[in-house]
């Protein structure tokens, strides 16, 4: 298949040539590596890449991916990083308005009858910047001779990929890892990877989050060598039963060469190493699919009894080490997959949410990934700092507003007992709310069939990638995307997984006709305490939470006790998520004084803008705590 | 010169009936003080304690805080904006003097010819009346009662007027000649507001420098509710002979009820005028505001909902409070 630039304009093309979304498990070929986390099967491609910036598609170097292309005129850029932060395109902050407001007239494809104007909307636009990235590399020794995949953890907002002149694939969902198989075209030395990144595509209609609008490769890029026998996907299903015992299930999708045999060993221990479960499954088992490339096997454990377990919660985030080991026919260890899992039970009884039999209280915040120096391109250090701030201030819940975060954050939440609302990368705010009014005349995804698969794909990416994380108590369909058939289909997608989690979506508030078809909980944002009271005293249908409340813009966070008291008043009220964790502002050198200062929307000649509206954190953009934090710490410590 | 009329320890106050000002001099337990109250500027023009001048300009009532983002969101400025001009331009309307509890004819020239250079008193009270340029005009009376220890009791009375819009704050603003090094206070930890003080832990706290909380857009900050006392330390002066001085302190303490204060290097108007922290002027002064009423900051949203009703300041009601300076 060849790349087609018109995919940028077509909402029905969002994923080409990519491997199926799969669990975020790490895999190693040696026990020691699984212990210390150093993985010789991984080769990072982070670092300096060759780069060319173009203002639009027609002016880009279209042949740059071809072998023998002369890249002498290319610049260099760091990967990962936002292209704007590297000084190429304008930094722009805007809230609900689409970023082309006042510059281009655009309506989503198929949203208004009979329009053909969407053809070329992005691929032929006079302004739709392109980043052309080239990376030359040799394979590390340990990766030689193995199947090689590449994982882009975050590329905003549409990407085409080539290896050694061959087209590999295309992807859009900016905030979710996407993996491609490179094996057919991989060489030992002198590989040239070409990535063409587009600032906007139809994905722009779906990624209208209230944040700085960036593009580029902004998260890790890694090569993975897959052992001969490999866990392609795993879905662990620990459950806490009412009698305090655990049950355990596991689904594995394993690839191995045709005509070979082996076994999968599954062990579950407690933290002291006492074995709770050990099972051996011969490979291949009964469920298998043989293809030209190899055999794919599905093997399952179901309803294994574990006995008494320590439940996982915020006060005691007890995780049990789970190991999956694959052995070949001569019983040689081929692959080991460690994955700590917790036993917990989320349920709604009489319209009240319980975790492990106790009423759930969410002392939460919404958290954008942010760094004043690097934008949304953050590292482990920032995540660790954020987690320390959470723990220090009694924050027990996080909503990943409004896109999936980097993988280590989910692991940290598992480990520290932070209740997660894991949100899909979706927000279409500007398509249905204009100047504050609900005006959904051309909203997406709405009920448009052409916009259904793309958002289901986003839901699937979120589910499949993060399904093993104990911390996730809620899946969230995204933020502020109105509510019609396609959101209802997303809701059904998650419900059909029957994974014991709740499914959350706030947007039915704006279209009550979908109240019974979307969301397990009544969720509002910025409802006043009296409005919460009104709902809960007038035949409420569902348990209630505030997915956004206490808008901490500037010097704010007054009146928190009025919300906290609701926890005493109503069993069905479960608390909420403060808006939000960190000010989004960018560190620059002041052109007048030379000192390092923070700038916000409108400070980059970016218009229209929503200016300082991105500064709503309980920490400043440099992660120092705002004075209001002591109030958060006090109340969140009081209600546990 | 402030050093001429040094009183003996424990003696009665020495009053200097000038043509334009009234000087009060004395000493107590090793502390020497010299205060000058002006009939022209409408308040104390000089508060010298142990040789250090603590005033840059005559204190004034303050009616404004730099808008918070939530104030802007709830359009508070369109409802109460007249208080900003009232804060900038305070009209001094009158003065009364009482010696040892008895009002005397205002002793300015030539009325003061009846006095000598040796007048003594147990106490002096001087009361100023101000009119805010609001429509209708709001009236404020501020009296300074000096006793033999040199302590000044400040009584502040805002006369409510139902026709006036809600106030953002009401208090007294003292501007000191140079930046303070630090301040120490007994009250609540951190920055607190009427609707955000549950998490404040009572104690004695020291704040180095005069930090301006770096909100993206400068706005009111640094409020400390429920304070028993605050001591402000300075070690620089504008006195050309010294410039650097021994660290010295001035103390504001509660009289009847605790007060709120903020101690910043800027006035509300200076903060209001900046869109970024780096636009604030170089730090030169200490702006100490002692408040009798503070509006809450709110938090429900930043695009329309007001601060909860119990944290508004009704301009129709009198605000009466007092504190001591020593």
What value of ipTM does the predicted structure carry?
0.95
pLDDT in tens, B259-306: 999 999 999 999 999 999 999 999 999 999 999 999 999 999 999 999
Mean pLDDT check: name the lowest of A108-112, A199-203, A207-211, B202-206: A108-112
Shared domain check, A75 and A150 = yes
Q: What percent of chain B has pLDDT over 90?
A: 94
Confidence grade of residue A640 (pLDDT, cut at 50, 70, 90) = confident
A453 is catalytic: no
What's the pLDDT tens digit per position in A502-521? 999 999 999 999 999 999 99
Place of tokens 């589910």: A463
B217 interaction partners in chain A (CB closer than 8 Å):
554, 612, 615
Mean pLDDT confidence for A136-155: 97
Q: In chain A, which residues have their Cβ closer than 8 Å to the Cβ of B299?
A: 550-552, 556-560
Domain count along chain A: 4
Inter-residue contact A561 to A538 (CB < 8 Å): no
Looking at the structure, do residues A386 and A488 belong to the same domain, yes or no? yes
**CB-nearest partner of A555 from B277, B297, B305:** B297
Of A558, A599, A612, the CB nearest to B299: A558
- List Cβ neighbours of B260 (8 Å cut-off, separation of 6 or more): B171, B223, B224, B225, B226, B227, B290, B291, B292, B294
Percent over 90 (pLDDT), chain A: 97
A-B CB pairs within 8 A amount to 123
pLDDT tens string A468-501:
999 999 999 999 999 999 999 999 999 999 999 9
Rounded-to-integer distance, Cα A615 and Cα A613, Å:
5
Distance CA A554, CA B274 (A): 14
Chain B residues in contact with A633 (beta carbon < 8 A): 199
Full residue range of the structural domain in which residue B229 is found = 13-325
Alpha-carbon distance of A439 to A96, in angstroms, equals 13
Q: Select the residue from A558, A584, A614 to test the B interface by mutation, using most B Cβ atoms within 10 A.
A: A558
Q: What is the mean pLDDT of residues A624-635?
A: 98
Question: Is pLDDT of A465 > 50?
Answer: yes
Beta partners for residue B24, in sequence order? B15, B35
Mean pLDDT of chain B: 95
The mean predicted confidence, pLDDT, of chain A is 97
Residues A570 and A507 in one domain: yes
Please report the pLDDT score of residue A160 as a whole number.
98
A255 & A220 share domain: no
CB contact under 8 A, B189 and A630: yes
Backbone dihedral angles phi then psi of residue B62, each to the nearest 5 degrees: -120, 140
Q: Which residues of B168-184 are buried (b: 16+ CB within 10 A; e: fewer)?
A: bbbbbbbbbbbbbbbbe
Position A289 scores a pLDDT of 82
Q: Domain range for residue A322?
A: 243-341
Tell me, what DSSP letter sits at residue B270? H
Task: Please list every residue in chain B whose beta carbon sits closer than 8 Å to the beta carbon of residue A528.
Answer: 300, 305
Whether residue A297 sits in one domain with residue A402: no
Quick check: is B131 in a domain?
yes
> Would A236 be classed as within a structural domain?
no
Q: Using the 8-state DSSP alphabet, how is residue A614 labeled?
A: G
Q: End-to-end CA distance of chain B, in Å?
A: 20
What pLDDT score was predicted for residue A445?
97
Contacts of A559 in chain B (CB under 8 A): 195-196, 296, 298-300, 307-308, 311
Q: CA–CA distance from B197 to each of A559, B26, B296 (Å)?
A: 9, 40, 10
- Give B308's contacts in chain A (Cβ within 8 Å): 558-559, 562
HSE, side-chain direction, 13 A CA sphere, residue A10: 11
Minimum mean pLDDT among A29-43, A111-125, B3-17: which range?
B3-17
Closest-CA residue in chain A for B296? A558
Would you give the DSSP letter of residue A40? T
Q: Which of B69, B214, B308 sits opposite A556 (nearest CB)?
A: B69
In a domain, A594, yes or no: yes
Determine which one of A84, A480, A484, A631 is catalytic: A480
Say how far apart CA A38 and CA B102 lie, in whole Å: 86
Structure tokens at A464: 């499949």
Does residue A284 sit in the same domain as residue A187?
Answer: no
Confidence tier at B10 by pLDDT (50, 70, 90)? low
Residues A409-457 have pLDDT tens digits of 999 999 999 999 999 999 999 999 999 999 999 999 999 999 999 999 9
Ramachandran angles phi, psi of A31, nearest 5°: -60, -45
Q: What is the pLDDT of residue B118?
A: 94
Which residue of chain A comes nearest to B299, CA vs CA? A557
A94 and A222 share a domain? yes
Structural domain includes residue A101: yes
Shared domain for A296 and A160, answered yes or no, is no
Which residues of B touch chain A, with CB atoms under 8 Å apart?
68-70, 73, 189-191, 193-201, 213-217, 219-221, 276-278, 296-303, 305, 307-308, 311
A484 is catalytic: no
Domain end, chosen from A277, A307, A341, is at A341
Q: Look at chain B and report how many structural domains it folds into.
A: 1
Nearest to A556 among B70, B189, B214 (CB): B70
B278: chain A residues, CB-CB within 8 Å: 590, 592-593, 595, 597
Q: Which two tokens stand for residue A561?
A: 């006790």
**pTM value?**
0.97
Is residue A193 located within the same domain as residue A312?
no
The CATH number of the domain where A364 resides is what?
A: 3.20.20.80
What is the per-residue pLDDT for A118? 87
Among A196, A382, A548, A612, the active-site one is A548
Beta bridge mates, A212 = A93
- A485-496 and A452-466 helices, crossing angle to 10°: 30
The pLDDT tens digits for A49-93 are 999 999 999 999 999 999 999 999 999 999 999 999 999 999 999
Confidence at B1, pLDDT banded by 50, 70, 90:
very low
CATH of the domain at A111: 2.60.120.260
Å from B296 to nearest chain A CA?
7
CB contact under 8 A, B198 and A593: no
Mark whether A315 and A408 lie in a shared domain.
no
pLDDT of A32 over the 60 cut: yes
| Predicted confidence (pLDDT) at residue B6 exceeds the cutoff of 50 | no
Is residue B5 included in any domain, yes or no? Answer: no
Pair (A410, A536) in one structural domain:
yes
Do A473 and A332 share a structural domain? no
B7 band by pLDDT with thresholds 50, 70 and 90: very low
* Residue B8: pLDDT over 90: no
pLDDT surpassing 50 at residue B5: no
From CA A262, how far away is CA A297, in angstroms rounded? 12
With bands split at pLDDT 50, 70 and 90, how would you rate the model's confidence at B120? Answer: very high
Q: Which whole number is the average pLDDT over B131-159?
A: 97
The residue of chain A nearest to residue B197, with distances taken between CA atoms, is A631
pLDDT at B32 over 60: yes
Interface contact flag, B70 A598, Cβ < 8 Å: no
Asked if the model's pLDDT at residue A124 lies above 60, the reply is: yes
The nearest alpha carbon in chain B to A528 belongs to: B300
- Say how far apart CA A431 and CA A610 lie, in whole Å: 17
Q: Which among A627, A635, A638 is the top mutation candidate for probing chain B, defined by the most B β-carbons within 10 Å of its own β-carbon?
A: A627
Q: Determine whether the interchain pair A557/B220 forms a contact, defined as Cβ–Cβ distance below 8 Å.
A: no
Q: Note the pLDDT of residue A23.
A: 98
Last residue of a domain, one of A341, A374, A399: A341
**B172 assigned to some structural domain:** yes
* Residue B308: CATH number of its domain: 2.70.98.10
**Is A346 a member of any domain?**
no
Q: How confident is the model at residue B107 (pLDDT cuts 50, 70, 90)?
A: very high
Report whether pLDDT(A34) > 60. Answer: yes
Write down the pLDDT at residue B4. Answer: 42
Q: Which of A308, A341, A374 is the last residue of a domain?
A: A341
- First-to-last alpha carbon distance for chain A, in angstroms, is 55
Cβ within 8 Å, pair B299-A620? no
Cβ pair A287, A298 in contact under 8 A? yes
pLDDT of residue A115: 66
Q: Which residue of B has its CA nearest to A622?
A: B214
Domain membership of residue B8 (yes or no) is no
Whether B307 and A590 lie within 8 Å, measured CB to CB:
no
Cβ(A365)–Cβ(A395) under 8 Å? Answer: yes
Question: Span B160-179, mean pLDDT?
Answer: 98
Tell me the mean pLDDT in the region A17-45: 96
Q: What is the pLDDT of residue A117?
A: 78
Quick one: pLDDT at residue B3? 40
Which residues of chain A are within 8 Å of residue B221 when distances are taken between CB atoms?
Answer: 555, 627
């Amino acid at each position: 298949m060849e790349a087609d630039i018109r995919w940028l304009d077509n909402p029905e093309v969002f994923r080409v040539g990519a491997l199926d979304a799969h669990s975020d498990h790490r895999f190693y070929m040696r026990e020691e590596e699984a212990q210390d986390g150093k993985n010789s099967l991984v080769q990072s491609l982070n670092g300096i890449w060759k780069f060319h910036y173009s203002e639009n598609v027609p002016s880009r170097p279209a042949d740059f991916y071809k072998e023998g292309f002369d890249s002498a005129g290319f610049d260099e850029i760091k990967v990962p990083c936002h292209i704007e932060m590297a000084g190429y395109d304008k930094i722009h902050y805007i809230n609900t308005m689409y970023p082309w407001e006042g510059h281009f007239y655009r309506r989503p494809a198929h949203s208004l009858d009979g329009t053909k104007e969407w053809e070329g909307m992005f691929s032929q636009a006079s302004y739709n910047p392109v980043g052309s990235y080239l990376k030359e590399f040799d394979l590390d020794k340990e990766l030689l001779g193995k199947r090689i995949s590449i994982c882009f953890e975050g590329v905003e907002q549409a990407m085409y990929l080539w290896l050694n002149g061959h087209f590999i694939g295309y992807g859009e969902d900016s905030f979710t890892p996407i993996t491609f198989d490179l094996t057919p075209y991989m060489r030992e030395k002198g590989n040239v990877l070409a990535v063409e990144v587009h600032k906007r595509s139809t994905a722009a209609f779906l990624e209208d989050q209230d944040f700085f609008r960036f593009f580029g490769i902004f998260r890790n890029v890694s090569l993975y060598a897959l052992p001969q026998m490999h866990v392609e996907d795993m879905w662990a299903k620990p459950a806490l039963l009412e009698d305090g015992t655990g049950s355990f299930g596991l689904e594995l999708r394993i690839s191995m060469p045709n005509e070979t045999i082996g076994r999968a060993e599954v062990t579950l221990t407690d933290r002291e190493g006492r074995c709770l479960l050990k099972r051996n499954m011969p490979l291949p088992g009964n469920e298998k699919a043989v293809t030209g490339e190899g055999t794919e096997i599905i093997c399952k454990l179901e309803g294994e009894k574990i006995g008494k377990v320590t439940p996982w919660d915020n006060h005691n985030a007890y995780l049990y080490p789970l190991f999956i080991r694959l052995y070949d026919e001569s019983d040689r260890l081929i692959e080991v997959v460690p994955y700590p899992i917790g036993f917990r039970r989320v349920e709604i009884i009489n319209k009240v949410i319980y975790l492990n039999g106790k009423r759930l209280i969410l002392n939460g915040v919404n958290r954008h990934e942010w760094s004043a120096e690097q934008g949304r391109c953050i590292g482990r250090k920032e995540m660790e700092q954020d987690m320390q701030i959470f723990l220090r201030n009694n924050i027990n819940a996080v909503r990943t507003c409004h896109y999936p975060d980097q993988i280590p954050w989910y692991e940290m939440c598992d480990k520290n007992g932070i209740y997660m609302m894991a949100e899909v990368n979706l927000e279409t705010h500007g398509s249905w709310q204009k100047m504050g009014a609900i005006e959904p005349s051309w909203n997406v995804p709405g009920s448009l069939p052409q916009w259904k698969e793309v958002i289901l794909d986003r839901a699937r990416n979120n589910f499949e990638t993060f399904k093993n994380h104990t911390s996730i108590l809620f899946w969230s369909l995204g933020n502020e995307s109105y509510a019609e058939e396609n959101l209802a289909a997303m809701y059904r997608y998650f419900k059909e997984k029957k994974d014991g989690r709740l499914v959350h979506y706030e947007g039915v508030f704006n279209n009550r006709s979908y109240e019974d078809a979307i969301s397990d909980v009544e969720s509002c944002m910025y409802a006043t305490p009296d409005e919460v009271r009104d709902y809960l005293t007038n035949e409420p249908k569902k348990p209630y939470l505030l997915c956004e409340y206490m808008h901490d813009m500037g010097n704010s966070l007054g009146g928190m006790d009025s919300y906290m008291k609701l926890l005493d008043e109503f069993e069905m009220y479960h608390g909420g998520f403060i808006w939000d964790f960190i000010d989004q502002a960018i560190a620059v050198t002041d052109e007048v004084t030379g000192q390092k200062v923070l700038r916000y929307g409108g400070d980059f000649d970016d218009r229209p803008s929503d200016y300082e509206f991105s500064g709503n954190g309980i920490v400043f953009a440099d992660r120092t705590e705002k004075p209001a934090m002591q109030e958060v710490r006090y109340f969140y410590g009081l209600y546990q | 010169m402030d050093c001429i009329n040094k009183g003996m320890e424990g003696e009665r106050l020495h009053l200097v009936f000038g043509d334009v000002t009234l000087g009060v001099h004395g000493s107590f337990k090793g502390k020497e003080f010299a205060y000058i109250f002006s009939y022209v500027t409408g308040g104390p023009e000089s508060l010298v304690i142990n040789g250090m001048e603590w005033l840059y300009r005559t204190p004034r009532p303050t009616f404004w805080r730099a808008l918070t983002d939530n104030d802007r969101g709830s359009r508070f400025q369109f409802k109460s904006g007249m208080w900003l001009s009232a804060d900038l331009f305070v009209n001094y309307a009158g003065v009364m003097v009482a010696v040892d509890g008895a009002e005397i004819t205002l002793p300015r020239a030539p009325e003061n010819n009846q006095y000598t250079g040796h007048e003594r008193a147990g106490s002096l009270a001087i009361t100023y009346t101000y009119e805010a340029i609001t429509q209708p005009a709001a009236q404020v009376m501020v009296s300074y009662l000096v006793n033999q220890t040199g302590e000044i009791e400040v009584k502040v009375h805002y006369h409510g007027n139902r026709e006036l819009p809600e106030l953002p704050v009401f208090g007294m603003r003292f501007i000191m000649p140079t930046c303070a090094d630090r301040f120490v206070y007994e009250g609540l930890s951190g920055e607190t507001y009427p609707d955000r003080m549950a998490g404040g832990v009572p104690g004695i706290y020291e704040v180095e420098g005069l930090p301006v909380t770096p909100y993206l857009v400068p706005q009111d900050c640094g409020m400390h509710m429920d304070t028993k006392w605050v001591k402000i330390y300075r070690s620089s002066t504008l006195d050309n002979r010294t410039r650097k001085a021994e660290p010295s302190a001035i103390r504001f303490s509660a009289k009847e009820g605790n007060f709120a204060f903020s101690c910043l290097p800027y006035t509300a108007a200076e903060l209001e005028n900046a869109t970024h922290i780096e636009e604030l002027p170089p730090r030169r002064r200490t702006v100490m505001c002692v408040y009798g009423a503070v509006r809450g900051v709110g938090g429900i949203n930043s695009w329309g909902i007001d601060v909860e009703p119990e944290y508004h300041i009704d301009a129709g009601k009198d605000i009466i409070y007092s504190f001591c300076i020593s």
